[in-house]
Amino acid sequence: MATTDISVFEKKAGVTFKDKALLTQAFTHRSYLNENKGLKMSHNERLEFLGDAVLELISTDYLFKKYPDKTEGDLTSYRSALVNTHSLAKAAINLDINDYLLLSKGEAKDMGRARQIILADTFEAVLGALYVDAGYESARDFVKRNLFDLIDIAHIVKNKLWLDAKSRFQEQAQEKLGVTPAYKTIREEGPDHDKVFTLGVFLGDVQVATGEGPSKQEAEQKAAENGLKEKSW
């Protein structure tokens, strides 16, 4: 159970809640209440639902004004790069949200991909709570300070980083070498419920890099990411 005073969070995030219970709710994961059934409080899923919609509007408005000449397709791609699980989890970590999360004992032990998703969801829940407590402008300013200012959107646009690693590797391989990459499974390890796949990315007969993941799709993405580094693309 988190014990840090939420006023410390408010100071770091640059916000002050009139209704402190809303902020506590934003930090409360469903698993915590499942484990503590006697508590008279709500989990954060409704606030996350609201925060997700508020974030979509804020990010869309931001990009619409920043790039007046870009098409709807371009703006949609930029938004996916600006607002995703990775960027939201990073923003949550910068705000020390881990210190305030109310989680079950099992969830509290998991610091892998599942925790990244919880952090991203909690950032959205905090945003939803702030929107309810203080309105759109406060929510917008919170997102700008704690998310947009951390991301170099110009760098993302210039280097086409909104594309996933596989798409970027394929684009570079075709443009520079006239070759379409191929992916091959090198090995599978572990039981069926906990497999680790290792895949290689090849240009012709040459293996450029390998990647590991819990699914072939994730291993391919990792191999492509490593391939981009290997080729300095």
Q: What are the residues whose beta carbons fall under 8 Å from the beta carbon of 72, sequence distance 6 or more?
A: none
The domain locations on the chain are 6-158, 165-231
Confidence of residue 220 (pLDDT cuts 50, 70, 90): very high
pLDDT of residue 176: 92
Most confident among 90-104, 125-139, 142-156, 166-180 (mean pLDDT) = 125-139
pLDDT digits (tens, 9 = 90+) for 54-76: 999 999 999 999 999 999 988 99
Given the residues 10, 35, 45, 52, select the one marked as catalytic.
Answer: 52
Tell me the C-alpha to C-alpha distance, in Å, between residue 203 and each of 7, 28, 105, 220. 54, 48, 46, 14
For the chain, what percent of residues have pLDDT higher than 70?
A: 95
124 catalytic, yes or no? yes
Average pLDDT, the chain: 91
Q: Measure the CA dihedral 171/169/162/164, to 10°.
A: 120
Distance from C-alpha of 124 to C-alpha of 116, rounded to nearest angstrom: 13
Given the residues 124, 133, 220, 225, select the one marked as catalytic.
Answer: 124
pLDDT of residue 137: 97
Q: Tell me the whole-structure pTM to 2 decimals.
A: 0.72
Altogether, the residues listed in the chain come to a count of: 233
72: three-class secondary structure by DSSP: helix
pLDDT digits (tens, 9 = 90+) for 71-130: 998 899 889 888 988 899 999 999 999 999 999 887 777 666 678 899 999 999 999 999
Distance from C-alpha of 1 to C-alpha of 168, rounded to nearest angstrom: 42
52 catalytic, yes or no? yes
Confidence of residue 158 (pLDDT cuts 50, 70, 90): confident
Any idea which fold 6-158 has? Ribonuclease iii, N-terminal Endonuclease Domain; Chain A (1.10.1520)
pLDDT of residue 4: 63
Do the first three CATH levels of 6-158 and 165-231 match, i.e. the same topology? no
Most confident among 38-42, 83-87, 149-153, 205-209 (mean pLDDT) = 205-209
CATH 3.40.50.2300 fits 165-231, yes or no: no
Tell me the C-alpha to C-alpha distance, in Å, between residue 90 and each of 15, 59, 84. 19, 17, 10
